[in-house]
Chain A
Amino acid sequence: MDERELKGLINQVKRGRLSRRDFVRQMVAVGLTAPVAAHLLAYSGVAMAQPASTYKPTKRGGGGPLKVLWWQGATLLNPHFATGTKDQDGSRIFYEPLASFDPDGNVIPILAAEVPSRQNGGLSADGKTVTWKLKQGVQWHDGKPFTADDVVFNWEYAKDPATAAITAGAYKDIKVEKVDQHTVRILFPAPQPFWAAAFVGGQGMIIPKHLFEQFTGAKSRDAPTNLKPVGTGPYKFKDFKPGDLVAGEINMNYHMPNRPYFDSIEMKGGGDAVSAARAVLQTGEYDFAWNMQVEDEVLLRLEQGGKGKVVINLSGSVEHIQLNNTDPWTEVDGERSSIKTKHPTLTDPDVREAMALLVDRDSVQKHIYGRTGVATSNYLNNPGRYASKNTKAEFNIEKAIAILDKAGWKPGSDGIRAKDGKKLKYVYQTSINQPRQKTQAIVKQACQKAGIDIEIKSVTASVYFSSDIANPDTYGKFYTDLQMYTTGPSAPDPGVWMQSFLSKEICQKENKWQSRNIYRWRNKEFDDLHAEAESELDPVKRAAMYIAMNDLVIKHRVVLPIVYRPGVSAASLKLQHITPSGWDSNFWELHNWYKDA
C-alpha cells in the first residue's frame, strides 16, 4: 500500500464510508499500531474518537470490592521500574498518565484536560513541540495538588541513567518544560509525527514530585513511596505484598465524577493461568483475570460455567518464525551466526519461499490457538483482502515442492533435498510452551513431506528470553537455522519495532547480543527507507513508508508470520466497561469499571 492508497482510505473514513475501527484494523494488519493509525486520522482532520461513555453508576462508591486475579502478581509499584505488564497494571491502580490509549489507539485524556491537536494549538506546525494542558483541581492521594512540576519531574527522574528507569526510552531524547502551573511543553529534537510516547499509556504514569524528589538517580531504590504509592488514581493504596497482593480503597476525591464504583480493589497474584481462568469463568470467585495463556479449548469449556466470559482485544503481537541469514554452524571470531558468514541454504530466496508455503497457519489456529491466535500470512500487501475477511494463508506443499525442484534442490537417497552437497536440514528452536511445541510439530510434518528435514529444539523460557551472554541458547544468539516466538509492534509506536530490521542493529558478539536485528538481515533499501521515514514530517507519508518497509520484510521472507496473538482476559459477566487495550495497561480504564447489579 502506498501513500496514495493510504490517503484514499483516510478519505473513506472522512466520508464515513469506512468505519474508524476498520481503518485501524487494516493499519494494524499492515504492521502499524492502533495508536499510530489514530494519529494518522487525527492529522488528516478526523478527530480522535472520544467514545460516548456508557458509564451508568450515578454516585461514587457503593459497589463493594473488586477482586482481580493476576497469575503472576505485581512485584513492585513504581511505574518507572515496572518490568512487565503485571507491574504496570499494579501501578496503574494508583498512578495515572496524562492520557491513555483505547483499544483503537485513540488518545483518551486522563490527567490532561484535553488531547493536544493542531486545532487547539497543542501540536506545533513543525512537529517539534507538544503542549499538554493539565486537568485542574486534581489531588494526589495525600491531598497535595497535581501540577506541571510533577510532570516535569517525571521526565527528569526517568531520563537520569543512574535511576535506570525502564521507561527511559520514552524520555531520554526529549526536553520537557513547564509553561505555567497547568501546562507543560515537550520539545522533540526532530519533528515527531508520533508524539504520544512520553506521559501516555503504560510508560507514561506520573509519580508525585514531592515524595520522590529526594530519591532520584542512584538513591531511587530507597524511596519509601516505591512500596506505598501515592498517586492520583481511582483507588488509594492500602496494602502491598510483592508477588501476592495489591490492595486499594476508594479515592473519594477522584477527579472524575461518580467514579470509581467499587469501594475497594484487591489484585491477587500467584498460581497458574488455568486455575485463574477457573476462578473467574467457572466458580466466579474473582471478577477479572489477566493474560489467559490457556488453550482455547479449555477456556471454552470453562466458559460453560456461566459465570464469566473471555475478553479478546486487538494487539500487534505476532507469533512468527525467523529464518537465519547467517550460518549458525560455523564459528567466526568466537561467535556462531556471525554476520561475516552466510547461511548455506537459507539465503536462497527459493528455499525461503518454499518455507513460507510450508507453514500451515490454518491448522495452527484451528488446532492450537483457537480464538487466542488468528492465522495471518499475507498481512502486509492486501488490506482489501483483509477487510473481506478472506485472508487465506497460503499453505501449499505441492507448490513448495515445485519451487524447490525448479531451483535444483533434488531429494537425495534419504529423502532430504540437497544441492551442491548442501542439504536442507534445519534446527528449529523455540521456548518450552505447549502450543509452541505443537506448532513446531505441524511445521515439521509439512517440511518433511517437501523433503526438508527439521530437528526440533525447545529451550526453557527463562533461558531462551534472557540476555545471559554466556548462554548459547538465548533467542538473541540465534544459534539455529529457524526460531519462533512472539513479538511485534505492540508498543504504541511501530518505529521502534522497525528498528529491529536495520543493518546497524545486527545482534552480535560486538554488542553483547543486545541489539535487535536478530534475523541478521541486511537490506540497503530498507535502511534508506527507514532513514527517510525518520525525518518525514507528514504522518501519512511516514506511515506509507513504514508499510513499505513492512512489505520489504515480508517479501524477503525475513520472518514468517503465523498467528496474531490478541490479548486474552477473563471477566465476570456482571462486570461492565471492560475494554482491555493492546497498547496500554489492562487497567487503563479502571475508573470506568462497574458491576451490573
Chain B
Amino acid sequence: MTVNQRIWINAIIIVLLMTVPLLIKRTDLITWFTYTLLYISLAQSWNLIGGYTGQQNLGHAAFFGIGALCTRFLWLYGLPLPLALVTGAVAATIFAVIIGFPAFRLKGVYFIIGTLVLAEILKIIFFTVLPHASVLPSKILNTYSLTPRYYLSLLMAVITVAVVYWISRSRLGLGLMSIREDEDAAEAAGVNTLRYKLTAFLISTFFAGMAGGVYAYFAAAALPGEMFSAVWTFDAVIIVFVGGVGTILGPIIGSVFFVLLQQLLSLYLPAGSHVLVFGILFIVVVLYLPGGLIGLMTRLRQLSPQKESDQIAA
C-alpha cells in the first residue's frame, strides 16, 4: 500500500464513521459505537506508555478519573465543554508531572505495582470525599442526545490515534521504543531516558484525561469513585495486549472486539463474562502470542500458500 492509498482508506473510514448517527437510529447501537471509540482513545493513550515505551502503567485510571471529574464539574458549573475538556486533560497532566518524577525512580516491576497502588489510593479518597453519584441536571437530561457524544468520542479517537501514530514515526517514538527494548543501552546510546519516559507519560496521561472528559460528558450518572475504578486501567491494558501491544492498529481492533464481545455475551451470560474471555486471551497473548491479534494476522499472512505446503511437508 502506498502512502496515498493509506490516507484515502483512513479518510473513507472516518467519513463512514461520521455518517453512523445519520444512518443508524437505534440508540443501543450508537452507544456501542461511542463506547468503542472511547475505548480506542483510552487504550491508545495507554499504548503510548505501556506499549511503545514498555512502562506498564497500571495507574491509568487515576488520570482518566481526574480528567473525568474535572471536566464533569467544570462543565456542570457552566464552563463551555471544550474548555472543560482541555482543563480536565491538563489537570491529569499536571498530576502526572507531580507523580512522574518519583514514579520513574521505580524501575520495571516496581513501577507497575507503584502506579497501581497510587490509583487505588486516589480511588479510596474520592469514594470517601464524594460518596454521591453525580447525575446530570434535568435541564441537560431533557435535551440529552447521543449524537454529539458520539461525534465527540469519534473526534477524540481520531486525534489520539493520529497523535500516537505521528509519535511512533518520530524521533521521540524511536527513543521510546529503544527504552522498551533495553533501557541501559538506550541511555548509553544518548537517549535521555528519564526525559523521554516523562514526555511519553505526560502525553499519555493528557489523552487519558481527555478520554475521561468524554466519559464525563457521556455518562448520565456516575459515582466519582467509579471514575477512578481500576477497571478503566484493566480494560485498556487487556484491549492493548489482546489487540497487539505497541502497534497502532492493535488497540483499535482490540476495542472493537472488546465491546462486541461485551455486548454479545451480556445477552446470554452474567455481566462481566467478556472479561473472562479477554482474561484468558490476555494470558495466551502474554505467554504464546506476543504480537496479539495483529501479530497473529501478520503471521497468517506471511504463510502464503506455497510456504504453507512447505510447512506441511516439513
Partners in one complex: no
Residues of B near any A CB (own CB < 8 A):
none
